[in-house]
Structure 1
């Protein structure tokens, strides 16, 4: 069986980790997988069977995306970076992968060049026996110095990478809209379709933290409104609006509201939301579930931000959706996605100045009165990724 090493670095949320883990879940039938996690460990996050996990000493970024930080505040960042670089090279030399798959870099995560460039140089020194693949979502975060950014990306891709896989649908979101120099890349470029989470309930590790109230909510006879913000480092204003609006909706609607704050939601704010939920008969606040799809399938309405994974859950389940795009640090990825879908009539969007409880309640009730709209997208991202990687290693054998 061929060996594949997958590098993933999540620094704020958990979307990159969720998508990457879903990809490697689909690779286990044909590849021996070693998964490198460079971000914070998430209690309760489901790991597919048969995958070796290597957790590097975790690094995150500050809320303004400017500087890297050690998750363990007692660790010196410079020392930590050297430890990570050494560990990454040691894992590579021991595992000897046929394929190295790197999530996002060099289109993003270039602050992690301190460990990735030495790894890529080691592959070159070995005569490129390991094929290097970039795993990229559908929308590239644009930069103020876009020309310089794109030139650097092209240089690194052409120097080190053998294949670019874009996990999107070119008919909906062509990569050229957010990366204009894609045709300057010398490696093959393929769209895989969107990576979507499996419909089956995932197995959980023994450390999984799941409140029994979550199972109770899924069996309630009332219809459901689901509110989520991914990892929980952002979107606090959206969840505050949902909780503050719950008493108004309790009078107007029969629905129960389930809030998941995300594992990184601040403890004090989480306690505040739970205290408010105690006063509401229609509201439950929990931190995290590794099995979000059953809630999305049951929900009459999903209220969330418009990250890749949550949006895919909305699209695959056909659930009505109300989306607030994250635009921090002038990041336009979620705005682009949500506005496109809103124009197609698939979702509704909301702006930060529309979160006042009475206005928000009206928006929620209006969304619930609409008929869900579904469109055909390519959701075969996992299957096509596996096929393209098998083809890559087959070519390698022939060569």
Structure 2
């Protein structure tokens, strides 16, 4: 049986974790043996049946400075903490003896984790029966203001990696849109399609016309408030609304939100299966994160998207631009999160037919498993699947 060691580290948001979990479930379903090295703070209810999850001492991004690493109590991690994690990761590699090592995001991201990832890659390369080393990245990358970071990524890929799984439909978007040096690593890229959830029927006992969601909730306050106020001035004022605040939405913000909602609105903190709710909805209003958009694609509902922006992050802005270009969603600029803008977008979305997304490749998780099995077997793989 092919053995996989999948390294996953979330520093702030948890989208990477849930995309990786979808992939690992597909690996297990495809008959592969999976160990997951999990380096972020634990998430309640997180489980992947059939896979072994190994928790490293948790690390997160600093609350004030993103590049500063902290433990779960907010203390800066020191060399002793790093050495403890590094030793645990290398010991796991030795015990698992994987045929494939997968690093989620690295080296395109997670540079802060080089203190343990570079030793892991060196240990893998030094083993007599060398495993394949594979990167795993989303469709749209954070664009670097400093060109040396892209150059460093290319050099790390050339030095250590055999392949990169790009979780995108290449007919929709290709890596070169957000990574300018793609031409230098094109021989390593394997497009998998979009890592969407498995199809499921609408939740029969929970029917809503409009679903508003903002991921974890820490950065969605303005959009939730604008959406709640937009209800009364939109064409869907009499519809059934569900607002999902996210688990990091503060109590103060929840109290403020309560002042804007009426009897036609249900508010919840978390949905274990967003896609099942969206499958029965007419409209989604959300940020533009990878997993949320994959859920929308699979559900087939209309969508209004508003990218998150802090002046540094570019990923969601670029994905929103792509959706607007392709007519896949209505978009609102991140600088225009107002009730009037949301209401106008609702009216535009409902006046048009639902977008046709039938040509999108949404089988990225299953395709990833098939690609990895073929690589281990030495069989040819279509690089632009």
TM-score, normalized by length of structure 1? 0.87
**Is residue 124 of structure 1 aligned with residue 108 of structure 2?**
no
Shift of 1:356: 2.8
Which consecutive residues of structure 2, in runs of 5 or more, have no partner in the other structure? 380-385
- Report if aligned partners of 1:65, 1:329 keep a CA contact under 8 Å in 2: no
Within the candidate set 205, 219, 223, 2:205 is matched to 219
**Is residue 22 of structure 1 aligned with residue 22 of structure 2?**
yes
What is the total number of aligned residue pairs between the two structures? 375
**Is residue 265 of structure 1 aligned with residue 246 of structure 2?**
no
Of 68-77 and 380-389, deviating more is 68-77
Shift of 1:189: 1.9
SS at 1:35's partner residue? strand
Shift of 1:106: 0.3
**Alpha-carbon separation, structure 2, partners of 1:140 and 1:13:** 15
Partner residue, 2:338: 356
**Alpha-carbon separation, structure 2, partners of 1:248 and 1:55:** 48
Partner residue, 2:383: none
Relative to 1, partners in 2 of residues 1:285 and 1:44: Cα closer, same or farther, differing over 3 Å?
farther
Mapping of 1:379-390 within 5 angstroms? 379-390=362-373
**Alpha-carbon separation, structure 2, partners of 1:340 and 1:97:** 37
**Is residue 341 of structure 1 aligned with residue 323 of structure 2?**
yes
Partner residue, 1:31: 32
**Alpha-carbon separation, structure 1, partners of 2:17 and 2:189:** 22
Partner residue, 2:11: 11
Shift of 1:15: 1.2
- Report if aligned partners of 1:246, 1:282 keep a CA contact under 8 Å in 2: no
Shift of 1:33: 0.6
TM-score, normalized by length of structure 2? 0.90
**Is residue 228 of structure 1 aligned with residue 213 of structure 2?**
yes
| RMSD of aligned residue pairs (Cα, Å) | 2.4
Shift of 1:75: 7.1
Partner residue, 1:320: 302
Structure richer in helix, relative to its length: 1
**Is residue 70 of structure 1 aligned with residue 91 of structure 2?**
no
Partner residue, 1:256: 240
**Alpha-carbon separation, structure 1, partners of 2:186 and 2:233:** 57
Which consecutive residues of structure 1, in runs of 5 or more, have no partner in the other structure? 202-214
**Alpha-carbon separation, structure 2, partners of 1:324 and 1:335:** 8
Mapping of 1:40-51 within 5 angstroms? 40-45=41-46, 47-51=47-51
**Is residue 365 of structure 1 aligned with residue 347 of structure 2?**
yes
Shift of 1:135: 0.6
1:101-159 CA-partner distances (Å, limit 9, x unpaired):
1111001111110110111111122246221110111112111112x122111111111
- Report if aligned partners of 2:276, 2:299 keep a CA contact under 8 Å in 1: no
**Is residue 394 of structure 1 aligned with residue 377 of structure 2?**
yes
SS at 1:326's partner residue? coil
- Report if aligned partners of 1:6, 1:34 keep a CA contact under 8 Å in 2: yes
Relative to 1, partners in 2 of residues 1:150 and 1:128: Cα closer, same or farther, differing over 3 Å?
farther
Shift of 1:318: 1.8
- Report if aligned partners of 1:164, 1:187 keep a CA contact under 8 Å in 2: no
Partner residue, 1:300: 282
